[in-house]
Amino acid sequence: MKKTLLATAIAGTMVASGAQAATVYNQDGTKLDIYGNIQIAYYSIDQGPDTTDELTDNGTTFGFAAEHEINPGLTGYLKLELDDMKADEMKTAGRDSGDQAYVGLKGNFGDVRVGSYDQLIDDWIQDPITNNEGFDVSDSTSEIGYGGIRETDKVTYTSPVFSGFQFALGTQYKGDAEDENLDDSGSASAFGGLKYTAGAFSVAAVYDNLENFQYIDANGNVESVGDQYGVTFQYTIDTLRLAAKYERFEGDTDDIIDTDFYALGARYGYGMGDIYGAYQYVDVGGEGISEIDANNRPNDTGNDEDNRNEVIIGATYNISDAMYTWAEAAWRDQDGDAGDGVGVGVTYLF
């Protein structure tokens, strides 16, 4: 679950995290905003042999955004978001992680940022299909795990838009002092993307070599898991957004499964909220692993029988400009109905 707020251009009165930010300081070219939300949800999810349910925090966030005009045409900025508040158990559970933290420069030359933030393939390729409250279709990163490592230690340059074209280039650097770096020297990945927009139509393509997603093979050697790439098409008609995606995870060795993802998504703003859904076919390309365990070893669980169809549907209803409810359901087409589930929740934003 991404546990992120809806952030679409056609979502009616729905707003993204920070869109209702309160400006607490704006003087001498420096501006500071604060924003946040409380998200509470109920889930019932099939785990295979059993179904479990819980009332849980769904991504409660508190954030700061600041910027300062260095000179005309050049602005420095920062963003800091704290999540994992565990709003449902605030008295008994500690907070052990954050969300995004980065600094950057932006101007006529484009945008450069460094820190922790979402993958480019997440923003440009995966989110247009499902960036939902609780259930998303699987993708080439979630398929092999690695959690929040994919969002850390990054530098990205994003160009201005030239005649509808925009590109982004970046790297994720893990020094030899990083626990997640299994090498005895520094390791730098490379990723990049190209986007084109013409009116209501847009297409984006992204490649990431996942150099820092590493595992230990049966001989004790450190290996990179592989590459990921994809392309997504979007078209907007009034308050209806349609999207199509092809995404691939390609393993570097025989230990790693190649997996293809073919998806269609739609989101419709009906005035008081959104109705949305997605279908995805996951083509698992032969025997190999489907995930890396906690000891960075491959689990031999993947094969052709893991091919599956995924369906996600959901809806939101705006109680006010600052508060909304939602409901979602997911079908994963896996053994024992694992991953199938329903969820409902409420979010208040400020």
- The DSSP H or E segment spanning 250 is strand 240-251
Residue type present at position 157: Y
Handedness of CA 298, 300, 305, 308 (dihedral sign): negative
Question: Structural domains in the chain?
Answer: 22-349 (2.40.160.10)
Q: What is the DSSP string of 275-298?
A: EEEEEEEEEE-SSBBSEE-TTS-E
**Cα–Cα–Cα angle for 333, 126, 183, nearest 5°?**
95
- The DSSP H or E segment spanning 27 is strand 22-27
* Other beta carbons within 10 Å of 219: 6
CB of 111 closer than 8 Å to CB of 123: no
Give, in order, the Cα–Cα distances in Å from 30 to each of 23, 27, 33, 77, 222. Answer: 11, 5, 10, 9, 46
Q: What is the mean pLDDT of residues 43-53?
A: 90
Residue 300 has pLDDT above 80, yes or no: no
Please tell me the predicted confidence (pLDDT) of residue 216.
76
Residue 124 has pLDDT above 90, yes or no: yes
Give, in order, the Cα–Cα distances in Å from 18 to each of 4, 100, 122, 139, 169. Answer: 12, 13, 19, 26, 25
Residue 16 has pLDDT above 50, yes or no: no
Beta strands per DSSP E along 47-185: 51-57, 61-71, 74-82, 101-107, 110-116, 154-158, 165-174
Please tell me the predicted confidence (pLDDT) of residue 65.
95
Task: For residue range 199-240, list pLDDT tens digits in order.
Answer: 999 999 999 998 888 777 777 777 778 899 999 999 999 999
CB of 302 closer than 8 Å to CB of 290: yes
Residue 118 has pLDDT above 70, yes or no: yes
